[in-house]
Amino acid sequence: MKAKERMAIPRQYPEELTPEERVKNFKEVTFGFDEETAIREANRCLQCKKPKCIQGCPVRNDIPEFIALLRDKKFEEAYWKVRETSTMPSVCSRVCPHEFQCEGACVRGKKGDPVSIGMLERYLTDWMVAHGKNLAKECALPNGKKVAIVGSGPAGMTAAYILAHLGYACTIFEALPIFGGMLSVGIPHYRLPRDIIGAELYSLKNCGVEIVYGTTIGLDKSLTDLKNEGFDSVFLGVGAHDSRKLGIEGEEGTEGVLHGVDYLRRVLSGEDVDVGEKVVVVGGGNVAIDVARVALRKGSKDVFVLYRRTKEEMPASGIEIHHLEEEGVHIEMLAAPIKILQEQGKMTGVECIRMELGEPDDSGRRRPVVKDGSNFIIEADSIIPAISQNVNHTANKGLDMKLESWGTYTVDSKTLQTSEEWIFAGGDDVLGPQTVAKAVYQGKVAAESMHRYMQGMDLCEGRDLNCYMVDW
Ligand SMILES: Cc1cc2nc3c(=O)[nH]c(=O)nc-3n(C[C@H](O)[C@H](O)[C@H](O)COP(=O)(O)OP(=O)(O)OC[C@H]3O[C@@H](n4cnc5c(N)ncnc54)[C@H](O)[C@@H]3O)c2cc1C
């Protein structure tokens, strides 16, 4: 096919559940492509000589190559091409903010719609499942060394997968009774069905990875205890789970005030959390959007998202914002809460103030500036601030580990070794709240460093951090 013909093919869009149907349940909203649609979309790829999409992908998937294989109907080969660089394509294809990553860098996006890379990757993983194929590599023979992994999120899962495939006996210590970190207690089922997380768990257990639930490192046992128990190295992947506070009057001790990730953790763990009919969610990222959509699905009738800038500056993916509005959530832009109103300890509403956009700040986005005298009130049963999370430091209790001023673990930027030479860290606890693909990337980097550390090798020599030397 000539480039001109490829250019003439319009981007293919997946089918979705209708908004009316999806607010009634937690079923996956977006359907996968069928074979014909996947191949049509794959034909849109120009197979660029210098592909920018690879640079846009945090784990550096060879996107043109897997698309070329898919186009030739070599689906299994195409899947394994992705697996060379990614430990969890079935997760990443569904939840990565592709518009800011691979698709954001796709050359076709300059003059129209980029190739739907995420949906093509998803097609491959769905094809593998539908055809009963093995999703993970063969397990390795034990090499006699053992590793502890703290936290079962994508960073910890990735480190465990790679190290187990190099023969290390891996034990994951997880504080919660559930596996998967934010994949399970943050991202709702309608974006990431739980059988996909189950498949990741299966492939780890299948290679002998042990998972110890309900054990908080730093409370139930310390990092030093792990060393004394004979673990040769530790990976710290505890994420960022402490909700940031608004710091306004009424936030503490008022019934009806919950914080974003705490609310999601409770609901997604099966608890019935009643937030009433009218709910105000504060924030503009993925967490705020998920909180609002979950509240709708749990029966709230009137859900607002309060955001201090405009829709254009919202950090959440465009598709999530689109789905949110389709489902009937109103975004109150250029507004911020300043006081939570209450009667006898129970919330009755939120006093807000209007903002306008000033000069760009360090993030490049225009800074919200208060419009004096523009106060207004929204009556509501509850408010759920979802304005980011901090790292919790229970895990390193008793060890004087170096931290950055914003509370993330200080690591060597190349090797992810912490100030304790036997401990490596990665994911949200190093980057702050970020994305699954970045957590996977750091899990890979750390796993290779830990392998080198335990084998007495130089942590850096001969190593290209964008191209993994270890065969896993
Ligand atoms: C609501 C929500 C929506 C999101 N949506 C997206 C999205 O669409 N796309 C995307 O790419 N990213 C998204 N993210 C971000 C993504 O989920 C995170 O960046 C990613 O999960 C970080 O992985 P991690 O392994 O570093 O940490 P986590 O996934 O946070 O896992 C850390 C694990 O460590 C455990 N732990 C913590 N302390 C201890 C301890 N002391 N002892 C033992 N265990 C401990 C925790 O219980 C948790 O299971 C979202 C996040 C949230 C909250």
Residue 218, amino acid:
G
The pLDDT of residue 470 is: 53
Supply φ then ψ for residue 423, to 5 degrees. Answer: -115, 130
Rounded to the nearest angstrom, the distance between the alpha carbon of 8 and the centre of ligand 1 is: 40
Rounded to the nearest angstrom, the distance between the alpha carbon of 358 and the centre of ligand 1 is: 33
CB count within 10 Å of CB 23 equals: 17
CB count within 10 Å of CB 58 equals: 21
pLDDT at 111 over 60: yes
The pLDDT of residue 364 is: 82
What confidence tier does 176 reach under pLDDT thresholds 50, 70, 90?
very high
Average pLDDT over residues 88-105: 96
Measured CA distances, 425 to 39, 221, 235, 414, 419 (Å): 40, 18, 5, 12, 10
pTM: 0.96
Asked whether 261 and 389 are in contact (CB, 8 A), the reply is: yes
Average pLDDT over residues 390-405: 97
Query: CA–CA separation, 193 vs 183, rounded Å?
Result: 10
Q: Which residues are registered as beta bridge partners of 342?
A: 347
Query: What is the CATH number assigned to the segment(s) 3-130?
Result: 1.10.1060.10
What confidence tier does 471 reach under pLDDT thresholds 50, 70, 90?
low
Across the chain, mean pLDDT equals 95
* The ligand 1 atom nearest the CA atom of 179: 49
pLDDT at 472 over 60: no
Rounded to the nearest angstrom, the distance between the alpha carbon of 253 and the centre of ligand 1 is: 27
The distance between the two most distant Cα atoms of the chain, rounded to a whole number of Å, is 71
The pLDDT of residue 429 is: 98
The pLDDT of residue 466 is: 56
Q: What is the pLDDT of residues 131-156, one digit of tens each?
A: 999 888 889 999 999 999 999 999 99
Average pLDDT over residues 377-390: 97
Q: Do the domains 3-130 and 244-389 sit in the same CATH topology, yes or no?
A: no
Asked whether 183 and 158 are in contact (CB, 8 A), the reply is: no
The pLDDT of residue 72 is: 98
The pLDDT of residue 463 is: 83
Rounded to the nearest angstrom, the distance between the alpha carbon of 183 and the centre of ligand 1 is: 6
DSSP 207-235: TT-EEE-S--BTTTB-HHHHHHTT-SEEE
Q: What is the pLDDT of residues 264-322, one digit of tens each?
A: 999 999 999 999 999 999 999 999 999 999 999 999 999 999 999 999 999 999 999 99
What confidence tier does 366 reach under pLDDT thresholds 50, 70, 90?
confident
Helices 63-71 and 35-42 cross at an angle (nearest 10°) of 130
Question: In CATH terms, is domain 244-389 a member of 3.40.50.150?
Answer: no
pLDDT at 45 over 70: yes
* The ligand 1 atom nearest the CA atom of 320: 8
Which of 28, 158, 182 gets mutated to test ligand 1 (max ligand atoms within 8 A of its CB)? 182
Residue 210, exposed/middle/buried by CB under 10 A (0-12, 13-18, 19+)? middle
Nearest CA to ligand 1 atom 26: 427
The pLDDT of residue 465 is: 65
> Of 198, 108, 193, 211, nearest to 156 (Cα)?
211
- The DSSP secondary-structure symbol of 284 reads S
Query: CA–CA separation, 216 vs 212, rounded Å?
Result: 10
Who's near 341: CB < 8 A, 6+ residues apart?
250, 347, 348, 349, 350, 351, 377
> Of 50, 52, 42, nearest to 74 (Cα)?
42
Residue whose tokens read 């129970």: 346
Six token digits for residue 126: 């769905």
* Residues 452, 456, 460, 461, CA torsion sign: negative
Residue whose tokens read 């920018």: 52
The pLDDT of residue 362 is: 82
Query: CA–CA separation, 90 vs 122, rounded Å?
Result: 6
> Of 181, 175, 172, nearest to 153 (Cα)?
181
Six token digits for residue 97: 């903010």
Strands annotated E in 294-345? 302-306, 330-332, 335-343
The pLDDT of residue 461 is: 87
Q: What is the pLDDT of residues 420-461, one digit of tens each?
A: 999 999 999 999 999 999 999 999 999 999 999 999 999 988
pLDDT at 80 over 90: yes
Average pLDDT over residues 236-241: 98
Rounded to the nearest angstrom, the distance between the alpha carbon of 392 and the centre of ligand 1 is: 12
Rounded to the nearest angstrom, the distance between the alpha carbon of 181 and the centre of ligand 1 is: 5
Ligand 1 proximal residues by C-beta, below 6 Å: 95-97, 150-156, 173-176, 181-183, 186-187, 216-218, 237-239, 241, 261, 264, 286-287, 290, 392, 394-395, 427-429, 434-437, 439
pLDDT at 371 over 70: yes
- The domain spans of the chain are 3-130, 146-241+391-454, 244-389
The pLDDT of residue 365 is: 81
Query: What is the CATH number assigned to the segment(s) 146-241+391-454?
Result: 3.50.50.60
Rounded to the nearest angstrom, the distance between the alpha carbon of 5 and the centre of ligand 1 is: 42
* The ligand 1 atom nearest the CA atom of 156: 25
High-pLDDT (> 70) share of the chain, %:
98
The pLDDT of residue 388 is: 95
Strands annotated E in 362-434? 366-370, 376-379, 382-385, 389-390, 423-425
Asked whether 319 and 13 are in contact (CB, 8 A), the reply is: no
High-pLDDT (> 90) share of the chain, %:
93
Which of 187, 235, 387 gets mutated to test ligand 1 (max ligand atoms within 8 A of its CB)? 187
